[in-house]
């Protein structure tokens, strides 16, 4: 998220971050956003009896900002139909794999277990199906002999930091 915040400070960046919302009160992104004077909110999914109730509250908070784009980062929940019925702005997510390979969690280890030669990151449109939306941008790295999941994660992180702002520029300048 911080890479997107920093990118948004460039005068030619096509977006302004107006609010950061997390479903986890201890998320580091909240502290990061506050350090840049970006308003934050916590809408904890555990505080709601149903997914629909949670998504309704989430959508109300998002729609209060009237966004042109919603960007997820570290949001580990599948959004259901309530969200997509109520949020009309495109929603993006970044995923640490070369989608459509290795959806879900533990992607670095999955790439190693599959004996992939390449690994990478993908920014994609979010749909109600896990990691299944149209791909906006991808970038790959080689998997080296002897790499472990931590090695891949460390080498991939700088690419993710570059990739998300690139995808936002691409989507908003279309």
Task: Render 86-133 in DSSP notation, one character per residue.
Answer: H--S-EEEEESS-TTSS-SS-HHHHHHHTT-SEEEEEEEE--SSTT-S
**Residue written as tokens 């599948």?**
78
Residues present in the chain in total:
174
Can 119 be counted among the known catalytic residues? no
What's the rounded Cα separation, in Å, for the pair 41 and 60? Answer: 12
Whether the bond into 100 is cis, omega within 30 of 0:
yes
Contact 17, 8 (CB under 8 A): yes
- Which residue in 95, 108, 119, 124 is the catalytic one? 95
Please identify every residue annotated as catalytic.
Answer: 95
């Amino acid at each position: 998220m911080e890479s997107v915040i920093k990118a948004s400070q460039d005068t030619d960046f096509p977006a302004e971050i107006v609010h950061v919302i997390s479903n986890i009160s201890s998320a580091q992104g909240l502290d990061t956003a506050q350090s840049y004077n970006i308003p934050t909110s916590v809408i904890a999914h555990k505080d709601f009896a149903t997914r629909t109730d949670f998504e309704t509250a989430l959508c109300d908070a998002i729609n209060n900002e009237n966004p042109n784009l919603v960007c997820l980062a570290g949001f580990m929940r599948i959004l259901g139909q309530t969200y997509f019925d109520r949020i009309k702005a495109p929603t993006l997510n970044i995923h640490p794999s070369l989608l459509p390979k290795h959806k879900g969690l533990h992607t670095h280890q999955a790439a190693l277990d599959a004996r992939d030669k390449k690994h990478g990151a993908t920014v994609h449109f979010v749909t109600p199906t896990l990691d299944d939306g149209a791909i906006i941008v991808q970038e790959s790295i080689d998997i080296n002999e002897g790499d472990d999941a931590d090695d891949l994660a460390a080498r991939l992180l700088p690419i993710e930091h570059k990739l998300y702002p690139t995808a936002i520029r691409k989507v908003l300048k279309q």
